[in-house]
Amino acid sequence: MSNRKPRASWLLAASLALAVALAAALPAHAGTPQPPDWVLTAAHASTPDYSKTTMAVVLDDEETLTVQPDGKATVLKRRVIKILRPQGRGFATVVVPIDRDRKLRSLHVWGIASDGHPYTLRDNEILEIGDNEYGMLYVDLHAKVARAPAADPGAVVAYEYERTERPYVQEYSWNFQDSIPTLHSVFELILPPDWHYSVASRNAVAGRKDDIGVVTSQPAPGHYRWQLDRISGVDIEDVPMTPEFEAMAGRLVVRYSRDPQPTGDDRWTAIGNWYTTLASPSAQATPDLSAKAKELVAGQSDFTAKVQAIAGYMQRNIRYVGIEIGIGGLQPHTADEIFRNHYGDCKDKATLLRAMLESVGIHSTWVLVDTRRGLIDPRIPSVDGNHAIAAIELPAGYTNPVLQSVVTAKSGKSYLIFDPTNQWIPIGQIPPYEQGGYGILSEGGQSQLIALPVMAAASDRVDHTIHAQLDADGSLSATVVEQRFGYSAERPRVTFTEGSQQQQRDYLENRLRRDLNGISLEKLAAAHSTDLSSPLELDYSFHVANYARNAGDLLLVRPRILGSDAWSLPRETRVWPIDLSAVQSRSDHIDLALPPGYVVDELPEPVSLDTDFASYHSAVTADATALHYTREYTVKQLELDASRYDDLRKFTERVAYDEATSAVLKKK
């Protein structure tokens, strides 16, 4: 995995970027039949006065899920969109995901140009594309893609499709909130007699995650209707440091079954129990697999050492490659197949890990998560998610400071959370995109929703020790020892393990150019790039011409040679939550030798900032021969409420000012 979040390997999603790119090449020819009455009615609806930044508006969005007595379901979806700005033309592209179990029965696309001329797309103007996501060898996910013609401001685009749904997932998500506003949205559920359902929802309005006040009704026995009007858009395209769109947008999830639906936390237990039943048969160990696991832990008596041995084998030897067909998007391949082939997707790798650990007497299970922190919401029991990781049960009373990613279940049992897909994060930690969210611990009848832990800032750390010499002409020569711990080491570990020498130089030079102009990299060496128990160490040296600025008999020199860490935040009103990305720390220790004939005339003032979300401390001292700069920067939280935006902006402006401050040297 090359510094990427894992793909949606146990719940597939359409590749919208690819769809839009291909759709741009579609012809703009169209037939002549008139759009149906429901399109014309929506197209003539009056709309509020939206802001000048609103690109388009959904005039009407209606979905009807019809469940048959055998549990099979179909969805009928209708949507009408009006283009308001030239930037809204992308909303004229229709993308309908399909696969072996979600078959398209019909698809119709219409358009009404800004001059009132109607269009109807022919079947040969609708393309079918395949999946093209990282690490996937074969999946049966496809999409029907169409682009309505004449999608200029004032035009209307409409479509209708009917599609079968996966029969083994008796759940449906009504994603009623888009990046653009929606004028009118309806979801209807039609169930067989004596069937049961449960519903849970969340809405994002003005940046808050609140329960939605939908209008509900029951038009007929077994027929249920939810309606929501004038839904604001989650427009975060130009907003810095926001959570993922899917983690904020409102949605309603309905689960249905012949038997009565569970309530409260039992809803999460039912989901975890269902997945345990689905996946457990795949986790049976064969003699060869079991023998390998025992070989890996031979001579080890400590729990952590055993887990590290098997986890290390998984990370080094089992490649991330996915083959997903039908229910294979949810159900893992057998542990023996994964072991023999030396590859698998996320749920496969968690399954093989479980089989190997069970072979040496250590219990583990699956945790269903999502790499978009916040999508799995305690208020919305659902199988929605895009990733599977592992929970390894710890012996009663066992502790080890190496094992930070530990949670305690309601049963009182402690579990070590581990992601075998990420081959660069050591056992005992999890990457930031999984921290602070939630996951479904699949433990049969004891399944539950668990809060995923947040690692200590010291586990995701960068340390610089720099010795530099400044010359009278302003040039700088420096040697650097850079140590990286945890997630901060992921990308360079990949580069210095798998990249060529030129790629390694390019990586470092591109990074150094953020702080230094005209840099010449002179030496580069890496140590411990594959040893996750040790920090990655980079040793390099470089030369920079014109580092210091001459001003008569003065030299202005920035004591902070490397590391631009201040966030760039505009002065504006904030409504959306703030995503700080990762809890992490960095430290800099720099000795900068003065050029002969110069003394220190002025030093920057020390800075000391302490907040609940971050801290920053820097100081510059001097003696007769050198400047000595130290800095400690720690991010303490993953996410802040929008109300803290001004606090964050003031903090980062002060950091940015300190990063740019110069010391003044004077000729003797």
Cα 394–Cα 303–Cα 404 angle in degrees, nearest 5: 60
Lowest mean pLDDT among 52-56, 210-214, 319-323, 357-361: 210-214
Please report which confidence band the pLDDT of residue 1 belongs to, taking 50, 70 and 90 as the band edges: very low
The confidence score (pLDDT) of residue 5 equals: 37
pLDDT band at 32 (very low <50, low <70, confident <90, very high): low
DSSP 19-35: HHHHHTTS----B-PPP
pLDDT at 204 over 60: no
- Residues 427-473: pLDDT tens digits? 999 999 999 999 999 999 999 999 999 999 999 999 999 999 999 99
Of 3.30.470.20, 3.40.50.2000, 2.120.10.30, 2.60.40.3140, which CATH number belongs to 16-257? 2.60.40.3140
Contact yes or no for 618/627 (Cβ under 8 A):
no
For residue 258, the 8-state DSSP code is: S
pLDDT at position 138 is 75
Does 20 have pLDDT greater than 80? no
Q: How many helices (H) and strands (E) does the chain have?
A: 11, 39
- 322-352 pLDDT, tens digit each: 888 888 889 999 999 999 999 999 999 999 9
What CATH code would you report for 266-454? 3.10.620.30
The whole-model pTM stands at 0.91
Span 413-425, mean pLDDT? 96
Residue type, 363: H
The pLDDT of residue 214: 67
**Least reliable range by pLDDT among 58-67, 75-84, 209-218, 478-487:** 209-218
**What is the sign of the dihedral through the CA atoms of 366, 368, 372 and 378?**
negative
Q: Is 319 a residue whose pLDDT tops 70?
A: yes
Q: What is the pLDDT of residues 68-77, one digit of tens each?
A: 999 999 999 9
Per-residue pLDDT tens digits for 627-650? 999 999 999 999 999 999 999 999
Distance CA 543, CA 624 (A): 23
Distances from the Cα of 591 to the Cα of 68, 128, 244, 588, 623, angstroms: 74, 61, 41, 10, 11
Q: What angle do CA 583, 586, 591 make, to 5 degrees?
A: 175
Judged on CB neighbours under 10 Å (0-12, 13-18, 19+), 475 is middle
Q: Which residues partner with 581 through β-bridges?
A: none
Q: What average pLDDT score do residues 110-117 get? A: 93
Q: Environment class of residue 30 by beta-carbon count within 10 Å: exposed (0-12), middle (13-18) or buried (19+)?
A: buried
Residue-wise pLDDT tens digits, 498-537: 999 999 999 999 999 999 999 999 999 999 999 999 999 9
- Tell me which of 23-32, 45-54, 393-402, 562-571 is least confident: 23-32
Tell me the domain boundaries of the chain. 16-257, 266-454, 458-667
| pLDDT surpassing 60 at residue 491 | yes
Give per-residue pLDDT as tens, 182-191: 999 999 999 9
Q: What is the pLDDT of residue 305?
A: 96
The domain 458-667 having CATH identifier 2.60.120.1130: the answer here is yes
Range with the poorest average pLDDT among 40-54, 119-133, 340-354, 495-509: 119-133
pLDDT of amino acid 21: 43
Strand pairing class (414-418; 387-393) = antiparallel
Query: And the tokens for 562?
Result: 């490397």
pLDDT at 13: 38
Answer yes or no: is pLDDT of 17 > 60. no
Strand partners, 640: 578
State the average pLDDT over residues 292-299.
Answer: 96
Q: What does the alpha-carbon distance between residue 662 and residue 558 come to, in Å, rounded to a whole number?
A: 4
